[in-house]
């Protein structure tokens, strides 16, 4: 039911007139309030980069398990199949993934060091570029959200620069024989972060839980991004922009791999998550908490190493 989800062109905000920017902000806020998801074009991530990213991701996950495990054990790098589980869901998800954060650069100190595999050879330059493009798109979207929350346009930018944002390369292998019947590719969950930018996946299965309690398939055209709000945004807005529950179900047809690449936009660890002034009367404010405290609590709940 993707036609129910708002579709926006980011260039209407980044390069449009005052009127088109205002219309973009209004449509974005309504879409995120209603469904927690939108789809996005005009985001600056070109088709050749996306095609290369999917090809190289598939090449990496096809490597022998012992080669991938050389880079396991931390939040960045490789997380083996069957490690992560949804909060309050003990059965592990049917997926493996690799995570990349900010590289150290002048004025933007990285809080953790990335690790890089030796093969495929184009892995690092490809995903450093994809990380930067998605970060730029996420920063622009957060500027529009800031305006919608009666904040300065650069309010989020000052908080996410050099922060804990992560690009996750996901592989959902074919469902193995004898799999626990309660296990699915990604059990129902909400994202931890401010917003997620998801490169349209190679394979179907993503569903959102709408405000009426219905599971709706989330579909988008190839090359579009799917955007949703996470728990940190819900915390900052007292639930005015809620985190939407979603899942990735097991294939109904051919039992084949699914690949996706979500980009989790998150602030620096020391940033305090406190309800913004425009939402204090409309929402339900919770006590302030630092990003580090909030993130590490949620990571423990899903079986991952601390940030």
Give the residue numbers spanning the domain of 22.
2-301
Decide: helix, strand or coil at residue 178.
Answer: coil
Contact 262, 170 (CB under 8 A): yes
Identify the band that residue 258 occupies on the pLDDT scale cut at 50, 70 and 90.
confident
Determine the Cα angle at 84 with ends 121 and 134, to 5°. Answer: 50
Q: Distance between CA 216 and CA 196 in Å, rounded?
A: 18
**Does residue 99 belong to any structural domain of this protein?**
yes
Identify the band that residue 17 occupies on the pLDDT scale cut at 50, 70 and 90.
very high
Identify the band that residue 193 occupies on the pLDDT scale cut at 50, 70 and 90.
very high
Decide: helix, strand or coil at residue 53.
Answer: helix
- Mean pLDDT to the nearest integer, 94-99: 92
**Does residue 79 belong to any structural domain of this protein?**
yes
Q: Residues for the chain: how many in total? A: 307
Identify the band that residue 110 occupies on the pLDDT scale cut at 50, 70 and 90.
low
Q: Distance between CA 292 and CA 299 in Å, rounded?
A: 10
Only one residue has tokens 């002048």, namely 106
**Does residue 307 belong to any structural domain of this protein?**
no
Q: Distance between CA 81 and CA 65 in Å, rounded?
A: 10
Read off the pLDDT of residues 125-140 as tens digits, 9 standing for 90 and up.
Answer: 999 999 999 999 999 9
pLDDT value at position 200?
Answer: 66
Q: Distance between CA 307 and CA 296 in Å, rounded?
A: 6
Q: Distance between CA 277 and CA 109 in Å, rounded?
A: 29
Among 91, 59, 262, 279, smallest CA distance to 168 is for 262
Only one residue has tokens 């002034």, namely 277
Q: Distance between CA 109 and CA 127 in Å, rounded?
A: 19
Q: Distance between CA 112 and CA 182 in Å, rounded?
A: 34
> Which is higher by pLDDT, 264 or 212?
264
**Does residue 306 belong to any structural domain of this protein?**
no
Read off the pLDDT of residues 32-50 as tens digits, 9 standing for 90 and up.
Answer: 998 889 999 999 999 999 9
Domain harbouring 269, CATH code: 2.60.120.330
pLDDT value at position 137?
Answer: 97
Contact 40, 225 (CB under 8 A): yes
- Mean pLDDT to the nearest integer, 90-119: 81
Identify the band that residue 188 occupies on the pLDDT scale cut at 50, 70 and 90.
confident
- Count how many domains the chain has: 1
Read off the pLDDT of residues 282-305 as tens digits, 9 standing for 90 and up.
Answer: 888 899 999 999 999 988 888 788
Decide: helix, strand or coil at residue 48.
Answer: helix
**Does residue 183 belong to any structural domain of this protein?**
yes
**pTM as predicted:** 0.92
Is the per-residue pLDDT at 1 higher than 50? no
Cβ-based burial of 118 (10 A; exposed 0-12, middle 13-18, buried ≥19): exposed
Taking the CA atoms of 193, 142, 126 and 55 in sequence, report the sign of the dihedral they define.
Answer: positive
């Amino acid at each position: 039911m993707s036609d129910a989800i708002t579709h926006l062109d980011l260039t209407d905000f980044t390069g449009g007139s005052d009127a088109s920017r205002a219309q973009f902000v209004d449509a974005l806020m309504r879409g995120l309030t209603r469904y927690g998801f939108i789809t996005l074009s005009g985001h600056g991530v070109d088709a050749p980069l996306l095609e290369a990213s999917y090809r190289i991701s598939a090449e990496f996950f096809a490597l022998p398990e012992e080669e991938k495990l050389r880079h396991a054990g931390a939040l960045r790098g490789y997380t083996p199949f069957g490690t992560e589980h949804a909060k309050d869901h003990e059965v592990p998800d049917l997926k493996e993934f690799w995570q990349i954060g900010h590289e150290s650069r002048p004025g933007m100190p990285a809080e953790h060091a990335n690790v890089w595999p030796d093969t495929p050879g184009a892995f690092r330059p490809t995903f450093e570029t994809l990380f930067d493009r998605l970060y730029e798109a996420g920063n622009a979207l957060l500027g529009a959200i800031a305006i919608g929350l009666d904040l300065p346009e650069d309010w989020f930018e000052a908080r996410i620069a050099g922060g804990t944002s992560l690009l996750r390369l996901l592989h959902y292998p074919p469902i193995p024989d004898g799999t626990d019947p309660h296990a699915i590719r990604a059990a129902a969950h909400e994202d931890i972060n401010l917003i997620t930018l998801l490169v349209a996946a190679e394979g179907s299965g993503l569903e959102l839980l709408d405000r009426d309690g219905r599971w709706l398939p989330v579909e988008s055209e190839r090359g579009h991004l799917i955007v949703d709000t996470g728990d940190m945004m819900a915390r900052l807005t007292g639930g005015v922009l809620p985190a939407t529950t979603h899942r990735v179900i097991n294939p109904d047809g051919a039992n084949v791999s699914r690949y996706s690449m979500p980009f989790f936009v998150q602030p620096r660890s020391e940033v305090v998550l406190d309800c913004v002034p425009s939402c204090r009367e409309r929402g339900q404010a919770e006590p302030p908490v630092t990003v580090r405290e909030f993130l590490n609590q949620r990571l423990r709940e899903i079986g991952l190493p601390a940030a």
